[in-house]
Amino acid sequence: MKDHSTHSSESVAILEKELRYISHLIKQKGREILSNYTITPPQFIALQWLHESGDMTIGDLSTKMYLAFSTTTDLVDRMEKNELVQRVRDENDRRVVRIHLLPEGERIIQEVILKRQNYLRDITQEFNAEEFEQLSRTLQKLHLLMK
């Protein structure tokens, strides 16, 4: 364990504040991009989980999204109605129902992610290649330590 006194309270406070502001701005930009689509932010998060992790049960999805099972069921109902996902019975255990991402859901998620990446590319034009790589490595390390 590292010595906690290596970073001043002031430095840590500044870091926390900057990360909070950055998180807020990314979320705001994400919502702005989503406003051009027929999906809500929670639906986007659900689609993102399905895109990254593949088919999953409502229970798994509600756990990942920190939502009540009933809330997730309502969310999936609306997404199924809009033909973004579909419920599929497990081949091996008919009692298990998995949520499967449909082509329209896949299209939306890929489009939105691409727009978010383009936004980040535009913002980071001010960084030279070395600064960009350093930022990327540092954020990856921070993410790993936080897991």
> What CATH number does residue 97 fall under?
1.10.10.10
Whether residue 115 is contained in a domain is answered as: yes
Q: How far from 94 is each of 62, 88, 97, 98, 126, CA to CA, in Å?
A: 20, 9, 7, 10, 54
Whether residue 10 is contained in a domain is answered as: no
Q: Is 8 helix (H, G, I), strand (E, B) or coil?
A: coil
Whether residue 42 is contained in a domain is answered as: yes
Q: Are 75 and 64 in contact (CB under 8 A)?
A: no
pLDDT of residue 4: 61
In sequence order, what are the beta bridge partners of 98?
88
| Spatial distance between the Cα atoms of 41 and 112, rounded to a whole number of angstroms | 11
Whether residue 57 is contained in a domain is answered as: yes
112 is in which domain, residue-wise? 21-146
DSSP-derived letter for residue 98 is E
Whether residue 132 is contained in a domain is answered as: yes
Per the structure, the count of domains in the chain is 1
Whether residue 3 is contained in a domain is answered as: no
pLDDT in tens, 47-106: 999 999 999 999 999 999 999 999 999 999 999 999 999 999 988 888 999 999 999 999
The answer, yes or no, to whether residue 3 has pLDDT greater than 70, is no
Whether residue 2 is contained in a domain is answered as: no
DSSP-derived letter for residue 101 is E
Whether residue 36 is contained in a domain is answered as: yes
